[in-house]
A and B are shown apart, each in its own frame.
Chain A
Amino acid sequence: MTMLEQAVTIALCALGTMAARFLPFLAFSEKRRTPQYVRYLGRALPGAVFALLVVYCLRDVNVLAGSHGIPEAAAIAVTALLHLWKRQMLLSIAGGTVFYMILIQVFC
Chain B
Amino acid sequence: MQQKGMRLRALKAAFPLTVPIFAGFWFLGLAYGIFMNVSGFGFWYPMLMSLVIFGGSLEFVAVTMLLGAFAPLQTLAMALILQARHLFYGVAMLEKYRGLGWKKPYLIFGLCDETFSINCTAEIPEGVDRGWFYFFVTLLNHLYWVTGSTIGGLVGSLLSFDTEGIEFVMTAMFVVIFLEQWKKEKKHDSALLGLGASVLCLLIFGADSFIIPSMACVLLLLTALRRPIERRCGLL
Q: Which residues of A contact B82 (CB under 8 A)?
A: 16
Contact of A16 among B83, B109, B194 (CB under 8 A): B83
Please judge, given known A-B contacts A13-B79, A50-B194, whether A76 and B91 are in contact too, CB under 8 Å: no
Chain B contact residues: over half helix, strand or loop, or mixed? helix
Which of B78, B171, B178, B207 has the most A CB atoms < 10 Å from its CB?
B171
The reply to whether A92 and B176 form a contact with Cβ atoms under 8 Å apart is yes
A15 within 8 A of B: yes
Q: How far is the CB of B40 from chain A (nearest CB, A)?
A: 12
Q: Which residues of A contact B93 (CB under 8 A)?
A: 42
Task: Mark interface residues in B38-63 (1 if CB within 8 Å of A CB, else 0).
Answer: 00000000001100111100110010
The reply to whether A47 and B94 form a contact with Cβ atoms under 8 Å apart is no
Number of A-B contacts (CB under 8 A): 254
The reply to whether A75 and B172 form a contact with Cβ atoms under 8 Å apart is yes
B95 within 8 A of A: yes
Q: Which residues of B contact A60 (CB under 8 A)?
A: 207
The reply to whether A48 and B218 form a contact with Cβ atoms under 8 Å apart is yes
User: What is the size category of the interface that chain B forms with chain A?
Assistant: 35 or more
Q: Which residues of B contact A41 (CB under 8 A)?
A: 91-92, 219, 222
The reply to whether A53 and B20 form a contact with Cβ atoms under 8 Å apart is no
The reply to whether A10 and B48 form a contact with Cβ atoms under 8 Å apart is yes
Chain A contact residues: over half helix, strand or loop, or mixed? helix
Distance in angstroms between the alpha carbons of A15 and B177 in the assembled complex = 29
Q: Which residues of B contact A53 (CB under 8 A)?
A: 113, 117, 174, 177-178
Q: How far is the CB of B29 from chain A (nearest CB, A)?
A: 16
B229 within 8 A of A: yes
The reply to whether B69 and A1 form a contact with Cβ atoms under 8 Å apart is yes
A66 within 8 A of B: no
Q: Which residues of A contact B94 (CB under 8 A)?
A: 24-25, 28, 34, 38-39, 42
The reply to whether A51 and B195 form a contact with Cβ atoms under 8 Å apart is yes
Q: Which residues of A contact B54 (CB under 8 A)?
A: 17
